[in-house]
């Protein structure tokens, strides 16, 4: 029997997954307080990775961390208190940009400065743009590009994937905003798809960000009526929910264990649940897929 054809609109792209990501990052901030040095928030963004103090640089890092958290708290407050693209939101996020830049200027040789650079990109993105304007989003693209280049130079696949995902969302947002310029809108859509694909090509070192990218690309494929390709990606993300968590040795630092737990939960449940929801929306029997996966696991 032929599958029911699902038609996605631009409004369908503006789901609350991005805000859920942002809320999860805020929760992570609150739970880990001064233990957390870094929050890699993938644009909407925001997602957390953990780096602990280097004892030989404790004083410097403590000061840098304090400055960073002041900027992060300003970011959180602005995000919660003011609507997208309002003058109040824009002003608040500009203050975040200034605070983040101060960390970069004063502590440019520390990991905290890298996190501040990513926060700066998030601040530009979440300042928001009105329909037809992409000024803040373009600034976000500039900052995320700088971050991605640094990560690529250092061979850090996870940080590079975070930047690529942020760039994908930024270009997807430009696609939605550029309704009066169809040619530029299509260029932005193609760019978003390319950034998401680059993350998939980086492999398993990107952790849960690979599944975030697959969900994002599937969403855009569905919007372009490429339903079968979208379904294939969503199915793969659902299967990831059932993959066992890699085992760590007893010598593994607690910080690495905490990060892996976060990545595992995000990849196996959060992104999997999103894919599951979208498959159901497409009329797919997800429970049948999951039973098939469990049967394969029981068999071997």
For the chain, what are the domain ranges? 10-299
pLDDT band, residue 248 (cuts 50/70/90): low
Choose between 295 and 39: higher pLDDT. Answer: 295
Give how far Cα 247 sits from Cα of 11, 75, 217, 251, 264, Å. 41, 35, 30, 12, 11
Choose between 86 and 245: higher pLDDT. Answer: 86
What pLDDT is attached to residue 263?
63
Express each pLDDT in 250-292 by its tens digit: 777 776 666 666 666 656 678 888 899 999 999 999 999 889 8
Other C-beta atoms lying within 10 Å of the C-beta of residue 296? 11
Express each pLDDT in 12-67 by its tens digit: 555 444 444 444 444 333 443 333 333 334 443 443 333 333 434 566 778 888 99
Lowest mean pLDDT, pick from 70-84, 100-114, 250-264: 250-264
Q: What does CATH list as the number for 10-299? A: 1.25.40
Task: Judge contact between 268 and 210, C-beta under 8 A.
Answer: no
DSSP 83: -
Helix (H) or strand (E) holding 203: none
What pLDDT is attached to residue 96?
97
Share of the chain above pLDDT 90, in %: 49
| CB neighbour class for 102 (10 Å; exposed up to 12, middle 13-18, buried from 19) | middle
Express each pLDDT in 216-239 by its tens digit: 999 999 989 999 999 999 999 998
Choose between 52 and 159: higher pLDDT. Answer: 159
Question: Taking the C-alpha atoms of 149, 195, 39 and 84 in order, what is their torsion angle to the nearest 10 degrees?
Answer: 120
pLDDT band, residue 164 (cuts 50/70/90): very high
Choose between 76 and 59: higher pLDDT. Answer: 76
What pLDDT is attached to residue 262?
65
pLDDT band, residue 209 (cuts 50/70/90): confident
Is residue 6 predicted with pLDDT exceeding 90?
A: no
Choose between 182 and 49: higher pLDDT. Answer: 182
Enter the tokens of residue 218.
């599937």
How far is residue 260 CA from its own chain's centroid?
16
Choose between 145 and 252: higher pLDDT. Answer: 145
What pLDDT is attached to residue 232?
95
pLDDT band, residue 193 (cuts 50/70/90): very high
Q: What is the mean pLDDT of the chain?
A: 80
Rounded CA-CA distance 97/119 in Å is 8
Rounded CA-CA distance 28/42 in Å is 14
pLDDT band, residue 111 (cuts 50/70/90): confident
Express each pLDDT in 87-99 by its tens digit: 999 999 999 999 9
pTM for the model stands at 0.78
């Amino acid at each position: 029997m032929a599958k029911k054809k699902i038609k996605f609109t631009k409004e369908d792209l503006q789901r609350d997954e991005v805000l859920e990501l942002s809320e999860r990052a805020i929760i992570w901030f609150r739970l880990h307080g001064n233990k957390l040095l870094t929050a890699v928030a993938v644009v909407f963004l925001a997602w957390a990775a953990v780096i602990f103090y280097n004892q030989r640089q404790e004083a410097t890092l403590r000061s840098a961390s304090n400055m960073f958290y002041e900027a992060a708290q300003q970011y959180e407050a602005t995000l919660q208190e003011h609507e997208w693209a309002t003058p109040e939101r824009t002003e608040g996020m500009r203050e975040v940009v200034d605070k983040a830049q101060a960390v970069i200027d004063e502590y440019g040789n520390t990991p905290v400065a890298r996190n501040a650079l990513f926060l700066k990109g998030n601040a530009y993105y979440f300042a928001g743009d009105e329909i037809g304007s992409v000024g803040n989003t373009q600034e976000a693209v500039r900052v995320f590009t700088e971050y991605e280049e640094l990560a690529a130079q250092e061979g850090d696949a996870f940080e590079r994937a975070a930047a690529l995902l942020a760039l994908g969302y930024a270009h997807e947002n430009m696609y939605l905003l550029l309704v009066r310029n169809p040619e530029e809108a299509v260029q932005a859509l193609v760019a978003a798809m390319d950034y998401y694909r680059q993350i998939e090509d980086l492999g398993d070192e990107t952790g849960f960000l690979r599944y975030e990218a697959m969900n994002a690309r599937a969403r855009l494929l569905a919007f372009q009526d490429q339903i079968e390709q979208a379904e294939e990606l969503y199915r793969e993300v659902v299967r990831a929910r059932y993959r066992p968590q890699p085992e760590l040795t007893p010598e593994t630092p607690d910080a690495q264990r905490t990060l892996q737990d976060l990545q595992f939960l995000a990849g196996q449940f959060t992104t999997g649940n999103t894919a599951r929801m979208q498959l159901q929306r497409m009329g797919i029997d997800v429970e049948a897929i999951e039973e098939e996966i469990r049967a394969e696991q029981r068999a071997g």
